[in-house]
Chains A and B, each alone.
Chain A
């Protein structure tokens, strides 16, 4: 198979402008006759559905949630990037583009990333106009901060609840279109299969989660904005319901899955505390702006802390190892996520971990509290403030900035982070891999588009902080509404798509038999227990570091687990009823296939890049060692139960030079 990325001709900075002015358009009177299905109402889906509704298309939007506002995007904390250069610190579209390409370890497409950087500025304008209450300075203008992997302040934020505020903005825009009838909203409806008619995506089979009924929905094209698949690891920072099924069902229908093994492990999460644990909680990367990461220098101190005989406060300054500042003086605590996560693992592997499980490092705010306290004292003209007063003032500043995150930490960990440093450890957070798409965000199935975290397009092998929200909204508000035009312009004479065709018939039948199969196993083990076991295999063998041996073994273990699943899973209740256990079951069934593909993809990529760290390929200092000669490509996989097939899309870099990523 040949993959055509359909990148427009011309210089990088002109491509999108030119594309926009030449892409075929659908006239307003025709739009009314064209139907579009949007699956997912997170940032990407809600923004797309709202915009398409405004443009005059007939939109049907689907979410398995009870309301569009509950999508996983709501939980994003830290912020959203945009090349506004409001801070006058040298930011530009090119710099955001460059940082993203470099941060992704040169495994993303130049043209897509440049477009992302270009539209980023419009996103902020749009959100402000919708009433998103971003943080502001005293002068009333928008405030920014810096995030990992970059040296400018380009991140816009709303306390630690940026995702919530952006999603509410998109949800409101969507609600407005629902009220006019431009968008028909299907809550509590889960896409179970993609329907392909004569080679084009023409609809979906959806399950009404309240009644269990299977429904056929047709349209002229289908947009998947169904999020990432980090939950294949069971424990992750993703919401409990996040799953791969929509994308996976598309893969089963012939769409290609790109770079599935590129997973982001986020360095600052609250460590696991027990086997019953259901998910992990992120502590926003923004905290690394002010928090310093360290472990004790001595093994004895670390041991004493683990056993509860000492606390962080007992360790003298000279006995602490601020290992990120030591190893990466230029970026210090603000190195990108993949680098910070691996560094934490290295320290814990040495036996320097500080939680009972040995899997935690400190994130310490005492220096920031002192620094802010002194600045505050200065501003208030208090020349002889006592250390306590300074601390109190500094604490107040930190509270204003991160109050809700500190509160969340205390609720979960049961310890006051203003006094004791936080204990953190890396956790699965984001998946860079996803459905393969071209410049139009169209998959290799004509008429099937993928937006947001569900596609693979912009972050290469590692995503920079605050760039997922940017990408989701870029795709939904500003890219897909244009790019679907090149497909739909040829559909104005198609007429309504009939749901009685053989393709719909067959897809519905297959969905029903998949469900029946699960209900009829009537075994003895819960879905949850299988999911947990899958997660452990994935984390141990396809997690923060990987090797060929382990990946081969992982593939075998997952196969075995899948067999056992279909022999011994127990799904209570009925299929024609509201049945959350059944929902979990069909999602886990798909994870069991995806997990295998991730092992294969990681095995095949004989290099280390970004979040993909193969132990065999590292520099003498333990940094990721890329192999640009042989692996500068996107690995796009066609699923096959016996032997998935790989198609390579070579990545061509015309504007940046590939260098060893250095943050030293």
Chain B
């Protein structure tokens, strides 16, 4: 097991009102650790020295809950494609490396502390229409409406979004188009969700704007940094249905 001596520059910020700055630390790690385990080592060291550890968000540590959120060397979730921060392992770094760690930055994601940001705007986008209006107990038999396998797969692919916000952090405009369009596609592609599709699109897009997310200028950084490889196709689909809905809906 080879040891690595690293220099880690971490963004420290007490809260949204206080300006933050980088602090530099030395950390001894090894290649089998995950990136967050390396951060654990750093925190253990800080606690040992009676200092406050670095606050960062994490929970599942297997790439599915969407809690972890670090910009590592300028990239949301770090250098590896299709990988969340928690799934990134130290074998992708070298002994002697200097690593910079920052929070996901965006106007709509205010800093809570250090590397923790407030992503509740995403919840509000879902609340504005990201659901199918069916009460418990109203459902028909699961097999009464067959769904073409390819359609189900497409809907599934869009539904794998973990709500992490890397797309927003990656976008120079701080746009939430990839996140929002993934939900609109997931539900709109399925026969069960198609009925509310237009209405849903209009409401979710309006909420997205209200939260202060920026516009999409087709840069594509969102999809490139997305740990779940959510496709840009979803944005195109959303744009089409938005125009369509704006023209045809009388609600």
Residues on A facing B (Cβ under 8 Å): 47, 50-51, 54, 65-70, 72, 74-75, 84, 86, 122, 124-131, 133-142, 158-159, 161, 163-165, 168, 171-173, 175-176, 178-179, 185, 187, 210, 239-241, 273-274, 276-279, 281-282, 407-408, 411-412, 414, 477-478, 481, 526, 528-529, 570, 572-573, 578, 580-581
Contacts and interface: CB of A to CB of B under 8 A. Distances in A.
Contacts of B15: 578
Given A67-B123, A141-B146, A75 B62 contact: yes
B148 interface: yes
Given A133-B156, A136-B152, A70 B59 contact: yes
A126 B137 contact: yes
B123 A187 contact: yes
28 contacts: A47-B136, A65-B59, A65-B67, A66-B118, A69-B66, A69-B163, A70-B59, A74-B60, A74-B64, A75-B62, A124-B142, A125-B141, A128-B139, A131-B192, A133-B159, A133-B186, A136-B148, A172-B126, A176-B131, A210-B112, A274-B1, A278-B36, A528-B47, A572-B46, A572-B51, A578-B15, A578-B116, A581-B52
Contacts of A74: 60, 64-66, 162
Nearest to A281: B62
Interface string B49-60: 011110101111
B192 A528 contact: no
B157 to A, nearest CB: 9
A156 to B, nearest CB: 8
Given A72-B59, A477-B136, A131 B190 contact: yes
Contacts of A124: 142
Given A179-B128, A276-B33, A526 B137 contact: no
Given A66-B118, A164-B160, A129 B134 contact: yes
B43 to A, nearest CB: 8
Contacts of A210: 112
B70 to A, nearest CB: 15
Interface in B140-166: 140-143, 145-149, 152-153, 155-156, 159-160, 162-163
B155 A133 contact: yes
A597 B61 CA distance: 29
A240 B30 CA distance: 21
A196 to B, nearest CB: 29
A129 B192 contact: yes
A321 B41 CA distance: 40
B40 A187 contact: no
Interface stretch (B83-91, B216-224, B230-238, B242-250): B83-91
B63 interface: yes
A129 B91 CA distance: 44
Interface string B189-216: 0101100000000000000000000000
Given A173-B131, A273-B32, A278-B37, A135 B139 contact: no
Contacts of A131: 132, 155, 159, 186-187, 190, 192-193
Contacts of B145: 128
Nearest to B59: A239
Contacts of A75: 60, 62, 64-65
Contact of A408 (B62, B152, B155, B190): B62
Interface residues of B, number: 78
B133 interface: yes
B138 interface: yes
Contact of B127 (A178, A273, A274): A178
Contact of A128 (B36, B142, B160): B142
Given A67-B120, A141-B143, A572-B50, A412 B67 contact: no
Pick the 8 closest A-B CB pairs, nearest first: A140-B146, A129-B139, A172-B131, A133-B156, A125-B139, A128-B142, A179-B127, A51-B136
B149 A572 contact: no
B25 to A, nearest CB: 15
A578 B112 contact: yes
Contact of B44 (A65, A158, A273, A526): A526
Contact of B134 (A72, A130, A580): A130
B192 A241 contact: no
B87 A129 contact: no
A153 B41 CA distance: 45
Contacts of A165: 156, 159
In this complex, the member of B36, B51, B148, B159 whose beta carbon has the largest number of chain A beta carbons within 10 angstroms is B159
A124 B123 CA distance: 25
B122 interface: yes
A585 B162 CA distance: 28
B103 interface: no
Nearest to A210: B112
B76 interface: no
Contact of B61 (A86, A239, A477, A572): A239
Nearest to B203: A179
Nearest to A241: B59
A501 to B, nearest CB: 32
Nearest to B134: A129
Nearest to B138: A129
B48 interface: yes
Given A66-B57, A173-B136, 9 more contacts: A74-B66, A127-B142, A135-B152, A140-B147, A161-B160, A164-B160, A173-B134, A281-B61, A572-B50
